[in-house]
């Protein structure tokens, strides 16, 4: 019985990680509220101004997602430092680059989404050119796949924005089976949120945690021996 109430046992450690996931998810959702709000307003009104506003408010999603990955990797996965501190540290240090990346990606997705909608309407009218909506749909999926890698890459490595885009795209293509799995998991998470919206307070961090196991395994293949050794030493120093 005494072991059960020991805060160092596996039960309390697991419970602590669940609480951490809830805190991180709430932080991420809070940062994404402007974009989510303008998206639903634009969807309902179908106005050009609404979609422009949605695009403009998307900039917060970039640093929020980068910070989420950084905190999950450092605090939840490796037990280093403190959640609140690391989340906002990553949010601020990656703000400019991640915000610009979010604006670029969101702009591309909205543009492709408009093309996809137009082509779908053509297809519904029986026009042969309408089948192109499938092409635009595939392109949207590819952009989402790039986003998954890009924000994780920014959280882990320092590089120029252009180089980060290039490296993230190359890594995603070079590890296509894993990339497809990440997309399936993301789609499953989105479906879960659609069915049970209250999971918003948990699923964002849980998805990133699961993705972290996959992405870190991939990233390590592209890290030098010196970088891998330095990272291992940092993890060991924290527990010593």
Report pLDDT digits (tens) over 163-209.
999 999 999 999 999 999 999 999 999 999 999 999 999 999 999 99
Task: Give the HSE-up count for residue 37: Cα atoms under 13 Å, Cβ half-sphere.
Answer: 9
Place of tokens 């979609």: 51
Question: Is 66 within 8 Å of 98 (Cβ atoms)?
Answer: yes
The per-residue pLDDT for 236 is 57
Instruction: Please report, rounded to a whole number, the percentage of residues in the chain having pLDDT higher than 90.
Output: 69
The per-residue pLDDT for 51 is 92
Question: Is 64 within 8 Å of 40 (Cβ atoms)?
Answer: no
Instruction: Please report, rounded to a whole number, the percentage of residues in the chain having pLDDT higher than 70.
Output: 90
Place of tokens 């609480």: 19
Q: What is the pTM of this model?
A: 0.90
The per-residue pLDDT for 229 is 75
Taking all residues of the chain, what is their mean pLDDT, rounded to a whole number? Answer: 89
pLDDT band at 240 (very low <50, low <70, confident <90, very high): very low
The per-residue pLDDT for 132 is 85
Higher-confidence position of 130 and 161: 161
SS3 content of the chain, % helix, strand, coil (to 5): 85, 0, 15
Burial string for 185-210 (b: 16+ CB within 10 Å, else e) reads: bbeebeebbeeeeeebebbbbbbbbb
The residues, ordered by sequence, that sit 6+ positions from 41 with a Cβ below 8 Å of its Cβ are 50, 53, 54
Residue 7 clears pLDDT 90, i.e. is over it: no
């Amino acid at each position: 019985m005494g072991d059960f109430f020991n805060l160092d046992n596996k039960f309390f450690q697991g419970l602590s990680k669940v609480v951490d996931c809830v805190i991180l998810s709430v932080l991420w959702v809070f940062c994404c509220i402007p974009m989510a709000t303008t998206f639903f307003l634009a969807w309902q009104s179908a106005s050009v101004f609404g979609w422009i506003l949605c695009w403009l408010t998307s900039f917060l999603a970039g640093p929020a997602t980068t910070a989420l990955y950084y905190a999950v990797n450092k605090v939840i996965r490796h037990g280093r430092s403190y959640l609140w501190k690391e989340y906002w540290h990553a949010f601020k240090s990656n703000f400019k680059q991640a915000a610009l990346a979010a604006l670029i990606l969101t702009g591309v997705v909205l543009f492709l989404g408009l093309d996809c909608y137009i082509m779908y309407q053509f297809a519904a009218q029986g026009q042969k050119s309408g089948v192109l909506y499938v092409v635009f749909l595939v392109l949207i999926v590819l952009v989402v796949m790039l986003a998954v890698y890009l924000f994780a890459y920014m959280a882990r490595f320092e590089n120029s924005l252009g180089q980060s885009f290039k490296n993230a795209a190359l890594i995603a293509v070079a590890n296509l089976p894993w990339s497809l799995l990440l997309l399936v998991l993301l789609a499953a998470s989105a479906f879960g949120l659609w069915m049970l919206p209250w999971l918003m307070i948990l699923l964002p961090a849980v998805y990133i945690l699961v993705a972290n196991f996959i992405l870190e395994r991939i990233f390590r293949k592209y890290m030098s021996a010196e970088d891998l050794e330095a990272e291992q030493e940092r993890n060991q120093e924290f527990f010593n």
